[in-house]
Amino acid sequence: MSDPLLDIRDLSVHFKTPEGIGRAVSSVDLSIAPGETLGLVGESGCGKSVTALAVVGLVPSPPGRVVDGRVLFEGQDLLQAPSETLRRIRGRKIGMIFQEPMTALNPVLTIGRQMVEPLTTHLGISKETARKKAVRWLDRVRIPSARQRMNSYPHQLSGGMRQRVMIAMAMICRPRLLIADEPTTALDVTLQRQILALMAELKSETGSAMMFITHDLGVVAQTAGTVAVMYAGRVVETAGVGPLFDEPLHPYTRGLLQCVPRLGAAPGRLHEIPGTVPAATEPVCGCPFAGRCESAFDRCGIQTPRLESVQAGRQVACWLYNDQSDEKFGN
């Protein structure tokens, strides 16, 4: 097997808040192979977006701070890289599609200017050549009247068109890794399918790897080859998309899949996971999911499980799959 393109090890990110230190990400391990699509899933606030921001060095500081870990991209630790090196990598080797394009795009600059700038900066081509290339990419992401839209401002475009512009900007330099943070959340179902199909087409053409961040398990089933499930700032399970959907191991993953509406299911109230996610500022002793887990036992409230390999290509952070019995632990 080839070395991972992106290898995240023991990543922890904290935020200083009026209520105390918020542990947004705790000891996260993830890896993405060249050309692979990793789906990063979990409910809102579980640390998905903060993990992505840490990869590209965009955690707001203050109040945020990466307190531990390594983020190896092509063997280079991005957490130790100078800011100038990170600026060269962002956009050129790592493209980012942000969750809300209206806030990610500069409202006072035209679409054309925002697309031309990364080309002249990262590829060193002339503005005239960059402008022609930008028009071609707007046309490729199916922006009508692409040449005229180069002179438009973000507020003059619909939500779907702004998202397509973000995709074009992220892909225009043909990055080796694309990070897509909830790229279809604000779109209707028809536009969502179009955007997903477009991203898959461009990814296949460029050979880029992708980290696809979402809370929509249906989208993950369509796009990802591997899935990592996050809960309360931690990765609790990783597996191939097929095995994870067919036989989820972690109790939280099982709960998530049971919450998904299904055609043909008996009418009635949808399943829900009881309880609430612990606050990021709340000290957690043991497994963070223990208070909501129907399978929890004594050890779960005392010791935090690490992400361990339980099958080929499959990891889970749960004492139900640890080879040390409860008796060995002394309970």
Check: CB of residue 119 under 8 Å from CB of residue 134. yes
Which of 5-14, 67-76, 178-187, 305-314 is the least confident region? 178-187
**How does residue 331 score in pLDDT terms, banded at 50, 70 and 90?**
very low
What are the residue boundaries of the structural domains of the chain, listed by start?
6-93+175-262+269-329, 108-174
pLDDT of residue 323: 60
Which of 140-144, 236-240, 242-246 is the least confident region? 140-144
pLDDT in tens, 19-62: 899 999 999 999 999 999 999 999 888 999 999 999 999 998 88
Which of 65-74, 227-236, 260-269, 296-305 is the least confident region? 260-269
**Total number of residues shown for the chain:** 331
Check: CB of residue 238 under 8 Å from CB of residue 315. yes
**How does residue 69 score in pLDDT terms, banded at 50, 70 and 90?**
very high
- For every residue of 65-127, DSSP letters joined together read EEEEEEEEETTEEGGGS-HHHHHHHBTTTEEEE-S-HHHHS-TTS-HHHHHHHHIIIII---H
Strand partners, 32: 6
pLDDT in tens, 80-117: 999 899 989 998 899 998 877 777 889 999 999 999 99
Check: CB of residue 40 under 8 Å from CB of residue 211. yes
One of 3.40.50.300, 3.30.70.360, 3.40.47.10, 3.40.50.720 is the CATH number of 6-93+175-262+269-329, namely 3.40.50.300
